[in-house]
């Protein structure tokens, strides 16, 4: 049963074609990896689906509802969420406060002025979330001053606070050291698995893709050139030619 349906999606910036005729259908509980060179349209795709950009043509449906030109906050409130390539955080606040504010918005919604933000139930939940994402030790550190990896994890944690059914992660392991990449993905996927969320994640590292994705979609020049099981896509000649190179052999599964 398709949770996300994209049909004929196009996006032009003047004469620049950022996305051209994108068609994709994602089912519940899939974990889809999105690959492609820089400028291929991966982030544009995420921006289109989450409402940051308005498509020039095409439709996007979520759970049967047409969400094509809705603003980001309406899309978030429908059950989709995303993380960012460059973590978007509240820089001057602590890690704890960042997540707390996210929780506050999720809980207090339309009338966020009656109750104090720092109340027992929200504080407890925030600590649980920090624990689940492995950043409890950074609780009182200011977001601007922690490492990129911690910021990334927090960014993703904040995206899950709304209990989304569909989560798009934009390069969750970029800017993070090589050793940490698998660690971070383990934490993220572990945290998400318990929530039964459908995940689409943009990733450059093919080993990560091979390890975590149940399906792979390859972007090139604004359009999808391959879509299927990881091994199929990785062996696809166009994908080898334009994206991952002819010589790639994957690390043996751990």
Partner 1 sequence: MLTFVAIIVDALVYASWLFLVAVGLTLILGVMRVLNVAHGGFYSFGAYTAAWAIGVYFERGLPDAGSFLVLAAAAIAVGLTLGVLIERGLLRWMYDRDEVVIALITYAVFLILEDAVLLIWGVNPFFAYQPSTLLGNTDIATLPFPNYDLALVGLAVLIGGILWWALSFTRRGKFLLAVIHDREMSVFLGINVSRLFTITFIIGAILGALGGAVTAPIISVTPGIGVEVIVLAFAVVVIGGMGSIAGAAVGSLLVGLAHSAAVHLFPQIELFMIYLVMSLVLAFRPRGLFSQAQMRRI
Partner 2 sequence: MAADRTIPYIAGALIVACVACPFVPSWVVFIGIVSLAKGLVVLGLLVLWRTGLVSFGQSLYYALGGYAVGLAYRYGGLTDVFVAVILAAVVAGAVAFVLGFLLAGYRDLFFAMLSLAFAMILYGVLVKSESLGSTDGFTIPVPTFAGLGPGEEIAQIMLFVFTAACILAACYATQRYLSSTAGHLTTAIRDNEIRVEYLGYSVKRAIHTKYVIAAILAGVGGALVSLSVGHIDPEMTYWTTAGEFVFVAILSGSASVAAPFVGSVLFELTRSYAMQYTPLTWHMVLGAALLLLIMFLPNGLWSLFGKSARVQ
CB of 84 to partner 1, least distance (A): 5
How far, in Å, CA of 5 to CA of 63, rounded? 8
Cβ–Cβ under 8 Å, residues 242 and 226: no
Gap between the Cα atoms of 139 and 142, Å rounded: 9
Which of partner 2, partner 1, none lies near 117, with the C-beta cut-off 5 to 8 A by kind? partner 2
Residues linked to residue 217 through DSSP beta bridges, in sequence order? 34, 227
When CB distances are held under 5 to 8 angstroms depending on the partner's kind, the choice from partner 1, partner 2, none that residue 101 binds is partner 2
d(CA 110, CA 129): 23
CA 229 to chain centre: 20
- Binding interface with partner 2 (CB under 8 A): 50, 52, 71-73, 76-77, 81-82, 88-94, 97, 101-102, 104-109, 112-118, 142, 158-159, 161-162
Tell me: does residue 86 bind partner 1 (CB under 8 A).
Answer: yes
Round to whole Å and give the CA distance between 232 and 254.
20
Q: Which of partner 2, partner 1, none does 193 bind, CB closer than 5 to 8 A by kind?
A: none
Q: Is 5 helix (H, G, I), strand (E, B) or coil?
A: strand
Q: Determine, following the binding rule CB under 8 A, whether residue 59 of this chain makes contact with partner 1.
A: no
Q: What is the chain's length? A: 254
Query: According to the binding rule CB under 8 A, does residue 81 interact with partner 1?
Result: no
Q: Which is nearer to partner 1, 43 or 198 (CB)?
A: 43
Of 13 and 23, the one with the shorter C-beta distance to partner 1 is: 13
Q: Which is nearer to partner 2, 125 or 180 (CB)?
A: 125
Does the protein bind partner 1 through residue 84 (CB under 8 A)? yes
Residue (43 or 98) nearer to partner 1, CB: 43
Question: What whole-number distance in Å separates Cα of residue 231 and Cα of residue 214?
Answer: 10
Question: Of the ranges 82-90, 93-101, 146-154, 177-185, which one interacts with partner 1 (CB under 8 A)?
Answer: 82-90
Cα 246 → chain centroid: 28
Whether residue 97 contacts residue 75, with contact meaning beta carbons closer than 8 Å, is answered with: no
- Dist. CA 133–CA 161, nearest whole Å: 12
Residue (52 or 90) nearer to partner 1, CB:
52
144 near partner 1 (CB under 8 A): no
Told to check if 52 binds partner 1 by CB under 8 A, we report yes
Report in angstroms the alpha-carbon separations of 184 from 90, 177, 210, 223, 244: 21, 10, 15, 29, 23
Give yes or no for residue 12 binding partner 1 (CB under 8 A): no
Of these partners, partner 1, partner 2, none, which one is at the site of residue 108 (CB under 5 to 8 Å by kind)? Answer: partner 2
* SS3 state of residue 56: coil
Phi, psi of 201 (to 5 degrees): -130, 135
Q: Which does 102 bind (CB under 5 to 8 A by kind): partner 2, partner 1, none?
A: partner 2
Which C-beta is closer to partner 2: that of 47 or that of 223?
47
**Given the rule CB under 8 A, which residues bind partner 1?**
43, 47, 52, 84-86, 88
């Amino acid at each position: 049963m398709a949770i996300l349906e994209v049909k004929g999606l196009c996006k032009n910036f003047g004469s620049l074609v950022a996305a051209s005729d994108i068609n994709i259908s994602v089912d519940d509980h899939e974990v889809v990896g999105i690959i492609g060179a820089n400028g291929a349209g991966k982030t544009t795709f995420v921006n289109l689906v989450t409402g940051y950009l308005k498509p020039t043509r095409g439709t996007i449906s979520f759970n049967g509802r047409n969400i094509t030109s809705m603003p980001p906050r309406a899309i978030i409130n429908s059950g989709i969420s995303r993380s960012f390539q460059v973590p978007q955080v509240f820089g001057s606040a602590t890690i704890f406060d960042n997540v707390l504010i996210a929780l506050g918005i999720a809980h207090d919604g339309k009338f966020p002025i009656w109750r104090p933000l720092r109340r027992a139930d929200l504080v407890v939940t925030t600590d649980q979330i920090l624990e689940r994402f492995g950043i409890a030790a950074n609780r009182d550190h200011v977001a601007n001053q922690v490492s990129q990896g911690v910021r990334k994890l927090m960014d993703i944690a904040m995206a899950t606070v709304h209990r989304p059914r569909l989560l798009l992660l934009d390069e969750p392991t970029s800017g993070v050291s090589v050793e940490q990449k698998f660690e971070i993905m383990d934490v993220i996927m572990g945290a998400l698995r318990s929530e039964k969320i459908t995940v689409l994640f943009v990733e450059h590292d093919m080993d990560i893709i091979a390890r975590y994705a149940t399906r792979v979609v390859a972007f090139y020049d604004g359009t999808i050139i391959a879509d299927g099981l990881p091994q199929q896509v990785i062996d696809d000649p166009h994908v080898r030619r334009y994206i991952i190179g002819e010589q790639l052999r994957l690390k043996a599964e751990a």
